[in-house]
Structure 1
């Protein structure tokens, strides 16, 4: 079981820092400590009114209120099991209620697995890591407890592993001997009793076996054009594989006759001779090579078969080379000069082409989409091209941000470029389960557009950000586009997991400079949106529209929580 931690640590009343991982379906072993939780920031509006927090478990199709016992403890936004039992399996939810209205904050599916009494782990309660020998790896003891200073022990194949006590088990270079089943065990003290929680990882390390190779001569039969009286050197090379075969032999034959050996003394050298065998190693591959030197090509040499023979392990490979008359002419001076100039200019031209592509990359991509009528939205089952998230606090002095989110953005993307946006205040009727609606709407959207300002991360916007980050970083279902509406010098007010997103997905709004429909801002935003065949309607400039019309007002008025987050 792998628990992914996405958001900042929440400070509890007891001054104990507790982590709250985002998860929906969980497996846990019976007899172990376990907890369910949701971030306190999701309470948002509920903290301002007399809302009760209730935990429920679904049984026989009906939700039953969970009451605190000595074994099941309720602590605000935490539900703890001391320990979990098989009967705890089921669907859980946490609901805020004021007696008239109920709001579901989060849901989970908990599956309690039976413990294997003959082993320290259950085969169904582990994750598998497949690695190659020589690579590095860090095994992490997942967040099994919300308490600090817990005692941690690592086991390999149910035996204590080198007295490791850290949350991470690091391997600089894996070997096959590191393969095994690693279990991390955390001990937790509660009301005088010691409980534990475990996480098990199956590590498989394999050696990179060299590919099976066949002994072969490099190259094929060929004819070489030459001239009478010209010197020719024929090269024959044999590939042996990934080790040097001592019994391998490589030699030349001339019409099935062995040539003489080269002496190394030019004046005593025969007209055709064979040089000594040489062994080569290139990387992890082994070769042998031998040259056949023809001092001066004669007319009779044009009728010979020069055969290279490779023998090893009772196998033989051959390669035949023939000579034929050909006309070789030196390059004309102007051809040579032209080639040199082109060779010198090529690097500069290549760099210029790359720079032009980098600078105008967005324009090229948009042009390509329009020409090819590319459509990334067909058949993906999504209803919206993007879900728009922004600061929805009516007390905010930044009215320009609301006007941008509710007027400018939909006018440009929907009316001019044919995209379909989902804006909660505009497209969702009040009265539903807000969290469930937002989760479903983001799931139906191809992109999540976040309009960032210094005050963005408020209690009403955090769930949209958390859900979007989970789908972008874990489920890989939704891509996030960040619009920096106002200059932000410090992003520390945002969750750390947001830094994992590519920086190229940030588009900066520059007010009047960005308003024209053909501005760099709208081009960059369209580049990040899914490709879609559209007919661009250049209505020109945002200021050309009457923004005070009543048609644009309904979704900007009022701050009832049923219509905002």
Structure 2
């Protein structure tokens, strides 16, 4: 199709993508595509709905459930939106509305309330050769009373609209109907190369039966072998995170660098399946720095202090005494990593009084040359990484008999 034909038909060919700039009934029909010199063709049918039809409303309406006094973020769907790398098309961002009121680019509530429920619309705008094109979606926010709700996200990158991520309870499918005590919902978002799909398993109230049931997240793909992961629930000791990973300032040549930091975070979360509180990721926007750090301490079963060559401890030394108090009051287990030159030790952070008051603590002195390699091994030995993180309870922590000199 020539450039002139594309402009005339309102369509744009860009690599593997066919972009229809302004859809109309004329675009409805059967289409085919082939890869390179491959003689095989793939056929699909495009159906165009009018904006006032019931079918259009169903296709563009998405439901979200949030719970009172919890954070709630509304994501604008990205179904059938142009690839971010499409030539000459510029993404102009997202505009949110609720009952005619314009909201911020990101619809976010740090503590959602029942009054925030309702129908929201988000409009994605794209600029192409001086002309703006829009895609509008409807998001229905249902705010429910807070309870012992547990949400487990299963994330995958898929490459076809026919691929699916879903949850099984034993050998049975989990319902998508949110009237059930256990259900799942899902979102899809185009990332430019594929589609980020998240299937969220929701427990309104965890029961004893749920604790003895195997739940499986399964990826069914039209082009690749199926993949799955099975989980079980276990009771925790009332904390939201398994560990608060905090980096403190040290000499440039002794602490972890940025790449090592990211790898440590990845190992803890992705390889060992730990729930980790990270200051620069898990803190609610607008919260004071000191308050945010203390919240992480209070909500974590362990606090891991690791020397870092780039970023100082949030709040500096003025926050250290408050952290010491929070460690004792919240009965948070402390794991303290130091190298040959550690600035935090010079402040007297781990005093004899603190060591005696903590539920449990462990000090490890590692050489810089082997810091990252031995760090994971030490954390395992310190029982930060048990076989099943959710079983980490008070009786599994041990108190060191030594004292940092």
- TM-score higher than 0.5 here? no
Specify the structure having the higher radius of gyration (Cα). Answer: 1
TM-score by length of 2: 0.33
TM-score by length of 1: 0.24
